[in-house]
Amino acid sequence: MKNIILIAPPQAGKGTIAELLNKKYALAHISTGDILRDVASGNDEIGVYVQETMSQGAFIKDEIIYQLLEKRLQEPDCKNGYVLDGFPRNMEQAEKYEEILNVIHQKIGIVIVIDVDKELLRRRVTGRRICKECDAIFNINFEEKMPRYESVCDKCGGELYQRSDDNLEAFETRYQTYLDVTKPIIDYYTEKGIVAHIDGNNGLDEMLKSLETIITGKKVNE
């Protein structure tokens, strides 16, 4: 199975898609955001730096990312392919990634870009609520995802919270950074002929259909 790089603006559904790819194709799901949230839960110097930087919607220093990623990519579950969710995010990271690939003898694989309108993303980000107990995700801006009570989990009764970077200000920063810094990577990979786009505006089922076409090789020819 090919390795996959998922590129998308914040809250486009990268994490959900990566999880589905993990279940269906046994591709390891590597989310740099999740790895960093783990680091941020520590009270040491690096934990505090990561926590503060993430809550502003800014990028963590590249050197920290490389160390964490290189270690993660060498874990056994990555041998048969993996999905990168949240990396690379700038051209320096894209170039460094190719060096890392040489060291670990892996191939770049394919790049899947999820395209979603900004207004839809803004509503998703500002409405997202997560259960502290069972991690269930709700959204107070979409009727079909609303919890019955604004701060209580429908599934387990746990308290719902808002991720520190799920606020409007951080979203605007993250979205602008996506346009300025992350989008140029798409052009770089497009020139290599390894990019496929999926439309993320029409819900998960539509995204999954497009994904199948890509994974089964009908859309991207390496």
Please give the residue ranges that form the binding site for ligand AMP (CB under 6 A): 10, 32-33, 36, 53-54, 57-60, 65, 86-87, 89, 93, 165, 174
User: C-alpha dihedral over 162, 166, 168, 171, to 10 degrees?
Assistant: 180
- Smallest gap from Cβ 114 to ligand AMP, in A, equals 12
Catalytic residue among 72, 96, 129, 174: 174
30: β partners: 84
Give dist(CA 168, CA 175) in Å, integer: 10
Say which of 72, 96, 128, 129 is annotated catalytic: 128
Taking the least distance from each CB to ligand AMP, the nearer of 50 and 131 is: 50
Exposed, middle or buried: residue 125 (CB in 10 Å: 0-12, 13-18, 19+)?
buried
Q: Tell me which DSSP letter residue 11 carries.
A: T
Mark whether 89 is an active-site residue: yes
Residue 67 three-state SS? helix
Looking at beta carbons, which residue is closest to ligand AMP?
A: 33
Looking at the Cβ atoms of 47 and 213, the one nearer to ligand AMP is 47
User: What is the closest distance, in whole angstroms, from the C-beta atom of residue 93 to ligand AMP in the complex?
Assistant: 6
- Nearer to ligand AMP by Cβ, of 38 and 212: the residue is 38
Considering the complex, what minimum distance in angstroms separates the CB of residue 218 from ligand AMP?
Answer: 28
**Smallest gap from residue 45 Cβ to ligand AMP (A):** 17
Active site residue 122: no
Give the residue with the Cβ less far from ligand AMP, 98 or 222. Answer: 98
State the alpha helices, DSSP H only, in 74-202.
Answer: 91-104, 118-127, 168-177, 183-192
C-alpha–C-alpha distance, residues 149 and 157, integer Å: 10
Catalytic, out of 14, 96, 124, 129: 14
Using the minimum distance from each CB to ligand AMP, give the nearer residue, 13 or 57.
Answer: 57
Q: Among the options 37, 163, 183, 219, which is catalytic? A: 163
Q: How far is CA 176 from CA 6, 57, 139, 173, in A?
A: 18, 10, 23, 5
- CA 197-174-204 angle, 5° bins: 40
174 part of the active site: yes
Task: Considering the candidates 72, 89, 96, 124, report the single residue annotated as catalytic.
Answer: 89
Residues that are catalytic: 14, 89, 128, 163, 174
